């Protein structure tokens, strides 16, 4: 508080105005002038560390844990959804920090800048990693927050590249981005098979027509919604 008070008082200094007084032409008037150069001298402007950090920061400290192994054959997040090319984890599940992902994203943007490529992320760094100092005795808490990270299972797509980038440029950018990240990765396209484990790939399932499936065994709520579209029901609507 003492340093803050001194800095605020230093904002106002006595300066000499070029306009002379009307009573004495030889004496100049002293007017207070605000020193705008030192307004932010006592305040340190700090940007957010990474754009991949979660929106809500009140996250509990977590165990180190292990990356879950998908034993049920789940294919969620294992194929492209938004772009034409993607970067997918090929090796065992691993924990990746937000700084490593940020470096990989910058590499992709730099390689595809000429064709205005659009980088799409498929992860959320919501794991708070805490670190204790070196040569610290055991006990007395887990430690202070250090950085954000994310657990990536096998077959997870991390980055997608869209906006119709040329295949050669897209693959080169994703290849350089894979060198910035731990683990082994593979570059996939819209026709690539889905990876469910380290050594197993399956064909992409056919798209499901949910409207046809619902009409085969429609629930009561669905029947009422369809009946509300009939003209005899719409005639008396709102009365």
Full-model pTM: 0.68
Of 32 and 218, more confident: 218
Confirm if 158 and 89 have CB atoms less than 8 A apart.
Answer: yes
Q: Cβ atoms within 10 A of the Cβ of 123, count?
A: 17
pLDDT for the residue 239? 67
Q: What is the pLDDT of residues 55-105, one digit of tens each?
A: 777 778 889 899 989 888 889 999 999 999 999 999 999 999 999 999 999
Three-state DSSP string of the chain: CHHHHHHHHCCEEEEEEEEECCCCCCCEEEEEEECHHHCCCCCCCCCCCCCCCCCCCCCCCCCCCCCCCCCCCCCCCCCCCCCCEEEEECCCCEEEEHHHHHHHHHHHHHHCCCCCCEEEECCCCCEEEEECCCCCCCCCCCCEEEEEEEEECCCCEEEEEECCCCHHHHHHHHHHHHCCCCCCEEEEECCCCEECCCCCEECCCCCCCHHHHHHHCCCHHHHHHHHCCCHHHHCCCCC
Q: What is the pLDDT of residues 109-159, one digit of tens each?
A: 999 999 999 999 999 998 999 999 899 999 988 999 899 999 999 999 999
Pairwise CA distance, residues 84 & 117, whole Å? 11
Q: What is the pLDDT of residues 155-200, one digit of tens each?
A: 999 999 999 999 999 999 999 999 999 999 999 999 999 999 999 9
Average pLDDT for residues 28-35, to the nearest whole number? 49
Average pLDDT for residues 4-26, to the nearest whole number? 46
Given this structure, which CATH class describes domain 85-203?
A: alpha beta
């Amino acid at each position: 508080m003492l340093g803050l008070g001194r800095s605020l008082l230093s904002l106002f200094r006595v300066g000499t105005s070029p306009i002379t007084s009307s009573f004495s032409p030889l004496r100049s008037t002293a007017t207070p002038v605000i020193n705008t150069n030192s307004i932010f001298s006592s305040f340190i402007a700090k940007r957010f560390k990474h754009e991949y950090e979660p929106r809500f920061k009140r996250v509990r400290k977590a165990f180190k844990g292990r990356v879950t192994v998908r034993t049920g054959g789940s294919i969620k997040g294992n194929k492209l959804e938004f772009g034409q090319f993607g970067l997918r984890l090929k090796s065992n599940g691993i924990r990746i920090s937000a700084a490593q992902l940020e470096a990989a994203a910058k590499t992709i943007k730099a390689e595809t800048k000429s064709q205005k490529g659009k980088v799409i992320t498929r992860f959320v760094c919501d794991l708070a990693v805490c670190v204790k100092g070196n040569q610290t005795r055991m006990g007395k808490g887990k430690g202070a927050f250090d950085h954000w990270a994310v657990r990536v299972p096998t077959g997870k797509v991390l980055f997608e590249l869209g906006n119709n980038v040329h295949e050669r440029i897209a693959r080169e950018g994703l290849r350089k981005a894979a060198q910035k990240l731990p683990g082994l990765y593979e570059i996939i396209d819209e026709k690539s098979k889905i990876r469910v484990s380290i050594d197993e790939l399956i064909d992409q399932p056919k798209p499901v027509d949910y409207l046809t499936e619902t009409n085969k065994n429609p629930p009561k709520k669905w029947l009422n919604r369809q009946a509300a579209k009939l003209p005899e029901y719409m005639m008396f609507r709102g009365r």
